[in-house]
Amino acid sequence: MPSHQDILIDYLRDAHAMEQQALSIIDRQLDRLKSYPELSARLQQHRQETESQAERLEACLHRLGTDTSAMKTGMAKLSSNLQAMMNTFAGDEVMKDMISNYTFEHYEVVNYKILATTADAAGQPEVARVAREILAEEERMIRWLDENLDSITRQYLARDADMQPQAAKR
């Protein structure tokens, strides 16, 4: 039976891989969001937060005498590349990206809640503090997505309508 410390290390490695996956997702989206400056700016900001999150998680692992998992990180990046490729082929790519981002942010929130509780149980208050700090950042991103979903959807619909041939608009 693994100890709480062993489980904590496993969850930290998962979280680090998850943040590497998030970086891959954001990078692919930023390349194609020039028509959505507000979304692009917020993703750019969240990318910086995500880099910092990955660094903080790696520091937690080092404090516990271990390191990240190359296998978990590689699998997470592969998954993000597959998701990005699927969205690229969609005519409403920005909307698919919004769905993916909203879903992924909630996935991260659940992971950080579990990580914080596990860190507390393992007697690692500093790791729990870092997990809760990152959790707050992810929750802020969810709030931003919530607050801007209507506007981005309307921007997409307006651009889509402008791109339709005149005959199709009648």
Q: At residue 166, does pLDDT exceed 60?
A: no
> Where is pLDDT greater, at 65 or 81?
65
Task: State the burial class of residue 7 (Cβ atoms within 10 Å of its Cβ: 0-12, 13-18, 19+).
Answer: middle
Q: Give me the mean pLDDT over the 18-29 stretch.
A: 92
Residue 158 half-sphere exposure toward CB, CA atoms < 13 A: 8
Instruction: Give CA–CA dist 67/64, Å, rounded.
Output: 9
Instruction: Give CA–CA dist 76/105, Å, rounded.
Output: 15
Instruction: Give CA–CA dist 35/15, Å, rounded.
Output: 31
Q: Give me the mean pLDDT over the 37-62 stretch.
A: 97
Q: Give me the mean pLDDT over the 41-57 stretch.
A: 98
- Extended beta strands in the chain, E state: none
Reference 86, options 20, 29, 150, 27; nearest CA is 29
Q: How many residues does the chain have?
A: 170
Contact between residue 97 and residue 22 where contact means Cβ atoms under 8 Å apart: no
Domain definitions of the chain by residue range:
4-162
Mean pLDDT computed over every residue of the chain:
87
Contact between residue 109 and residue 138 where contact means Cβ atoms under 8 Å apart: yes
Instruction: Give CA–CA dist 64/62, Å, rounded.
Output: 5
The pLDDT assigned to 53 comes to 98
Q: Give me the mean pLDDT over the 30-51 stretch.
A: 93
Q: What is the pTM of this model?
A: 0.85
Q: Give me the mean pLDDT over the 55-75 stretch.
A: 82
Confidence of residue 169 (pLDDT cuts 50, 70, 90): very low
Q: Is the dihedral of CA 128, 131, 137, 139 positive or negative?
A: negative
Assign domain 4-162 one CATH number from 1.20.1260.10, 3.60.10.10, 3.90.45.10, 3.40.50.300. 1.20.1260.10
72-131 per-position pLDDT tens digit:
555 555 555 555 555 455 578 899 999 999 999 999 999 999 999 999 999 999 999 999
